[in-house]
Amino acid sequence: MTVLYRLDAPAAALARHFGAEAGRDPWAGGHVAPGGFAPVITAGREFVAGARLERQPRRLIPRLWGVPPPSAGDAGRPGVLSVRNPDSPFWIGNLRNSEFRCLIPATAFMEWGKGTDAEGKRRQHWFACADQPLFAFAGVWKDSEVASFALLTCEPNAALRHAGRDAMPVILPPDPGAWQLWLHGDWKRARELIAPYPSSQMLER
């Protein structure tokens, strides 16, 4: 499970790249860890009353990484970072409703590997995309005590399997049409984007 990623681009650059309004988002770049705030890109619906518009402007919005657990008895437990089963009753309502899907910008992500490094520390593998230095994870957001988000996951590609992982985050293609589909498309079509990213387009740092 991805527990750390980097986003080495400021809010203004993110907004330009993904065709969104940055507003006053203060993001300057850096690591994103569980329980921390990071910018996500939404379809803009959350601040707009009235009829839903297909051409609603995208917005860059800070949200907390880690959705509160589904049960009240889980209070105090860490937030849920990723969606492994999109058909789960906890997620499916939000995923079917496209306004709750979001793009999660990133420049690299970390996965724990098997064994230890030369210093005896748990091995880290950092992955980036060769064909898009700034990419987007497929994400979903929820409004609860704190507005929060989680990453979608899928089967690992060969690079992630080699690192010992049984899943990987869903990385969207470098295509504005794919971003539009994830943010606005019906669920039957949008879920086709939940697929491993090609190993040939991945870099390990």
∠ Cα 184 190 196 (to 5°): 135
Structural domain harbouring 129: 4-48+55-204
How far, in Å, CA of 12 to CA of 9, rounded?
Answer: 8
Per-residue confidence (pLDDT) for residue 119, from 0 to 100: 79
Q: Tell me, what CATH number does 132's domain have?
A: 3.90.1680.10
pLDDT per residue as tens digits for the range 131-189: 999 999 999 999 877 899 999 999 999 999 999 999 999 999 999 999 999 999 999 99
What whole-number distance in Å separates Cα of residue 169 and Cα of residue 174? 15
Residue 71 has pLDDT above 80, yes or no: no
Q: What is the count of structural domains for the chain?
A: 1
Share of the chain above pLDDT 90, in %: 78
- Tell me the per-residue pLDDT of 72-118, one tens digit each, with 9 for 90 and over: 555 567 899 999 999 999 999 999 999 999 999 999 999 998 777 77
Can you tell me the distance from the alpha carbon of 59 to that of 68, in angstroms, rounded to the nearest whole number? 23
User: Could you give the CA distance from residue 172 to residue 110 in angstroms, rounded to a whole number?
Assistant: 17
